[in-house]
Each structure stands twice: as C-alpha cells, then as structure tokens.
Amino acid sequence: MSCAAAILGCRGPALDAEERAFFRDVDPWGFILFARNVETPDQVRRLTDALRETVGRPDTPILIDQEGGRVARLTPPHWRLYPPGRAYGELDPAIRREVTRLGARLLAHDLAAVGINVDCVPVLDVPDPQGHEIIGDRAYGDTPEQVALLGRAACEGLIAGRVLPIVKHIPGHGRAKADSHLELPVVETSFEDLEARDFAPFRALSDMPMAMTAHVIYADIDGALPATTSKIAFDRVIRGAIGFDGLVMSDDLSMKALSGDFAERARASLAAGCDVVLHCNGDMDEMVQVMAGTSRLSGRAAERARAALARIPGAPEPLDAVEARARFDAAFGGAYA
C-alpha cells in the first residue's frame, strides 16, 4: 500500500480542479466529509465517486461523523434524525443492545447508499461529572460496562451494513475538563483509576478495526504530550494496557489542542504511533503542510490499514429498511421518526 498515511477533507460539495490535482498528487489513504460537503444524496454520491477517482482506489475509506444527536453531518430533509448515544442507554435494559445495533445498521444503510464506508462511531468515552460537556450525551452511559456493551452493538450494526466503525477517543476523553477543539485538556487522574474506568471500554473493543486518538494529556502517563503525539501513551496504554492492535488515526490535526505547524503535528503524531493522520477542514495551505510532514503507509501501519478494509463484508446483512425503521421508531416512541 503506497498511499500517504493521511485522511483529508475537501472544501465544498464538489471538487475543484486544484483539489483534484492535489489529491492525485499526494494520494491520501482516505477522505472525510462534513456538513459543508453535503447537499443531497445524489450530490454526495457524486462527490464520493469523484474522491475515489482522484486516487484510483475503489475501496478508499471515506469517513463521516454521523453519530446521531448533535453530531450529524447528514441531516433532514434528505436524511433522518438519529438519537445521541445517551438515548440508547436510557432505553429499557431488555432492548438497549438490540436497538443500538439496529440504529447503527440503519445508519450504515444511509451511509453506504451515498458511498461512505467509515463512520466515526462509537464514542467509547465514559463521562465524568466534572468533565466538559463536549462528550455529554454522546456517551452511551455512565459506566464502562454499558459504554462497552452498546459500543460493541453499534460496531456490529455498522459492519453488518458494510461500514467500518472507529472507536473514539482512545484512551478516553470523558474526564477532560476542556474541549480539545479549543484547548489542550490535562487529566490528573492516576493510571490505576484510568485503567479501571476510562480504558475499559477500549480494552473490551480492542478487536475493532480502527480507533481515533484523544488530544488529551494524561499527567500520570506523559505530563508533556497529549496521547496523539505521545509515544509513551501509545506504548504503555493504547498498544499496551488497552491492547488495541487495529489502525489508529489521530483526531483532527487542526484542533487547537495541538501545537506547532501542521507538518510538525503530522510528523509528531506518526512518530508517536499513529498509523494515519486526520486533517478535516479542507484548507489547501494547511493540507500542503500536513502532507509535507506525512510519510507513505508502510510496515505495520500498512498492514493495519489493509486489515481494517478487509473487515468490510462482501455483502451487507439483509435488511428490510421499512420494517427496521418502524421497529426503531417504535422503540423511541416516534421521537426520531
């Protein structure tokens, strides 16, 4: 696999000539879409086709953040609403897991129809009462056991629909008291407490194909660097205590939690242990810098990338979408119909 170890965004609902030429030249492993890239189903399908054409790989990963609740890029009137993670966790315990899997299967049905094959779901962060609201109702519950149970159900539903899940934000963002989009959070909790609570859902889902890092400093692990750029955090926690051996991607390099220019951010993330770096906003000047600090996918990173894509089944699990949506809506009393 000779492509670059990067996932990039684009500026709008269609590629311009500059973007087409740039993506052909740098050959990123994948792409990510945001609300600015979305108008209608037909338009999104044209865009995903065009992105894959630029790199010449029909299985190119195309990502989106389609969690449900306040984190959704595909929205009405063309796409249906889905609940946030918390809503699944508040269902009757007898049906929580089944409905979470069903919701993810329906999400995958929506995404696959427009050429999207990776969803940045599930959120495996265990929220802390003192933590920032950036996680909040995106979490499936307040215990690692419930987060792991419903997180796995979501992964199963996505994969059944031929969409890869990304567990996030490894090794855990729930205790952070700041939004890493805006500043660098520092968590002072002991390693032992983190291992027992925050790391537990990721350890339970360490067999998943892909994970996204947290731009968070864990002072008892590495007091100087966030997990994304900390080799200590990778060796001791992500690959160590958690035992995650799938592909690990950085969270967005343009978030203000990180410092240095974009080439430095990319180099530091890859040197720490990220297999690929993520840059989301489609800013061409920033992407040029990111690619200056990004290497080609090789060695174990390339093996993990191939293994991740190999987890996409050859055919989707059969789905009667009308019947499945009716069951899903009934579970929530029509609140998300």
* Active-site residue set: 181, 251
Q: How far apart are CA 66 and CA 62, in angstroms?
A: 12
Which residue matches tokens 């999207």? 116
| Residue 217 CB neighbour total at 10 angstroms | 24
Between the alpha carbon of residue 91 and those of residues 21, 71, 87, 146, 275, the distances in Å are: 49, 20, 7, 12, 37
Q: How far apart are CA 212 and CA 318, in angstroms?
A: 29
Among 132, 241, 121, CA closest to 186: 132
